[in-house]
Amino acid sequence: MESVLFDEDHEAYREVVQEFVKRHVVPNMDKWDADRLIDRDVWLAAGRQGLLGLSVPEEYGGAGELDYRFRVIVMLELARVGASSLQSGFTTNDDIALNYLLRHADEEQRKRWLHGFVTGETIGAIAMTEPGAGSDLRGIKATAVRDGDDWVLNGTKTFITNGILSDLVIVFARTGDGSGSKDFSLFVVEEGMPGFSRGRKLDKVGLHAQDTAELFFDNVRVPQRNLLGEIGGGFPYLMQSLPLERLGIAIAAQASAEAVLDWTLDYVREREAFGRRIADFQAVGFKLAELRTAIEVSRAYIDRCVLEYNAGTLTAVDAAKAKLHATELQHEVIDAGVQLHGGYGYMMEYPVAKAFVDARIQRIYGGTNEVMKEIIQRDLIGRRPS
């Protein structure tokens, strides 16, 4: 059963994206992995091809395209070639950093920042997590204190996607004593602000080309005009933006599971043992049948979430279910894919092996899957007494 999401406009856009992937992504992926960094040229090329900042309104140089199915096409085509690091960079940029700006930036800020997200000249990051606090963001220590017309920002953030390349970082910091939900705010820190520095590129299990990094803020004077939204708005803004972040992760997971199953099918149809194709063993065929069924059923749910997002009705709880289910399925499919490739599944030159290490983070970031279950069970049962 095919996805019911797309019409001919999306299919025409798919051709543009496929051409971009063929010319600018596939030839560079090994180099990016070796460099532990994706070069800026691909961002600029993506900007020229209309792959970035689609939802930026026309008056700021964008397409004003609010149909999220075009973003889904980009994710599907990147997954098809296993470009997970670029995928996570683009998602952080478009579905997270840009989403915060579109929701909360004032007119002057929109004029300053939005256009660069369309051209690929501005790469965005979101810095919430700290060495001592990830799931429980109320535990962050970064502070911003008012001083004249500025805010003085101090703290350390870690695991920040696009951490090295980013020109603009949205930083989640305490502006109160941290005891209430109105004690947190968002600040936009820009490259070159004195006191803002980047640590090492973190050495990760997978997503090798992704420049995940530590960021340091040492008495950074952030002007009032770089406050995003209202003082005290940080937590509610996070809650409003998380459904799209989680939907993006779910779609990337679903797309990756579908791609890996295709690679695995190709492999077991070719490889022979005991005088027949691996695919001809019933145990293998049954496994593939189970996975294919699970993928199609999952896709129906994700497709529906995409349509709900377009309609403005996707709830945080349903986005959590999508993220939980799709990332667990991705894990199951890739693990089986590695197994069915035998020893070759453990060789990094095979895309299934790269997918295996790249996918592990999907159940951790964007809120761990345990946190997703917490959100879903709270909706089902209610909050536990503390």
Ligand X SMILES: Cc1cc2nc3c(=O)[nH]c(=O)nc-3n(C[C@H](O)[C@H](O)[C@H](O)COP(=O)(O)OP(=O)(O)OC[C@H]3O[C@@H](n4cnc5c(N)ncnc54)[C@H](O)[C@@H]3O)c2cc1C
Chosen residue from 53, 134, 243, 337 binding ligand X by CB under 6 A: 134
Please say whether the beta carbons of 187 and 222 come within 8 A: yes
Task: Report the C-alpha gap between 321 and 301 in whole angstroms.
Answer: 9
364 is a contact residue toward ligand X (CB under 6 A): yes
Stretch that binds ligand X, among 127-135, 183-191, 277-285, 331-339 (CB under 6 A): 127-135
Stretch that binds ligand X, among 10-18, 106-114, 158-166, 185-193 (CB under 6 A): 158-166
Pick between residue 77 and residue 245 the one whose CB is nearest to ligand X. Answer: 245
Letter for the amino acid at 216? F
Residue 84: CB minimum distance to ligand X, A: 10
261 is a contact residue toward ligand X (CB under 6 A): no
Pick between residue 8 and residue 203 the one whose CB is nearest to ligand X. Answer: 203
127 is a contact residue toward ligand X (CB under 6 A): yes
- Asked about 77 being catalytic, the answer comes back as no
374 is a contact residue toward ligand X (CB under 6 A): yes
Chosen residue from 161, 185, 254, 362 binding ligand X by CB under 6 A: 161
What residues from 71 to 100 belong to the interface with ligand X (CB under 6 A)? 92
242 is a contact residue toward ligand X (CB under 6 A): no
Task: Report the C-alpha gap between 117 and 170 in whole angstroms.
Answer: 14
Distance from first CA to last CA of the chain, Å, rounded?
A: 46
CA angle at 385 for the pair 380 and 386, rounded to the nearest 5°: 125
Task: Report the C-alpha gap between 278 and 255 in whole angstroms.
Answer: 25
Name the residue number minimizing CB distance to ligand X: 134
Comparing CA positions, the residue from 122, 139, 213, 223 lying closest to residue 173 is 139
Pairing status of strand 213-223 against strand 150-160: antiparallel
Residue 329: CB minimum distance to ligand X, A: 18
Please give the helix or strand (H or E) that residue 168 lies within, else none: strand 168-174
Residues facing residue 130 across a β-bridge: 133
Task: Report the C-alpha gap between 279 and 273 in whole angstroms.
Answer: 10
Pairing status of strand 213-223 against strand 227-228: unpaired
Letter for the amino acid at 358? D
Catalytic residue among 245, 270, 290, 349: 245
Strand runs labelled E in 175-211: 184-190, 196-201
129 is a contact residue toward ligand X (CB under 6 A): yes
Task: Report the C-alpha gap between 335 and 329 in whole angstroms.
Answer: 10
365 is a contact residue toward ligand X (CB under 6 A): yes
| Chain CA centroid to CA 362, Å | 9
Size of the site for ligand X (CB under 6 A): 22
Residue 72: CB minimum distance to ligand X, A: 21
33 is a contact residue toward ligand X (CB under 6 A): no
What residues from 201 to 220 belong to the interface with ligand X (CB under 6 A)? 204, 207, 212
Task: Report the C-alpha gap between 146 and 128 in whole angstroms.
Answer: 20
Residue 11: CB minimum distance to ligand X, A: 32
Stretch that binds ligand X, among 173-181, 250-258, 332-340, 358-366 (CB under 6 A): 358-366
Letter for the amino acid at 87? Q
Pairing status of strand 184-190 against strand 168-174: antiparallel
Stretch that binds ligand X, among 47-55, 78-86, 128-136, 346-354 (CB under 6 A): 128-136
Pairing status of strand 168-174 against strand 124-127: parallel
186 is a contact residue toward ligand X (CB under 6 A): no
Pick between residue 189 and residue 268 the one whose CB is nearest to ligand X. Answer: 189
Tokens of 167: 């020109």
Stretch that binds ligand X, among 74-82, 192-200, 285-293, 361-369 (CB under 6 A): 361-369
235 is a contact residue toward ligand X (CB under 6 A): no
> Which residues here bind ligand X, judged by CB under 6 A?
92, 125-129, 134-135, 159-161, 204, 207, 212, 361, 364-365, 367-368, 370-371, 374
Which residues are designated catalytic? 245
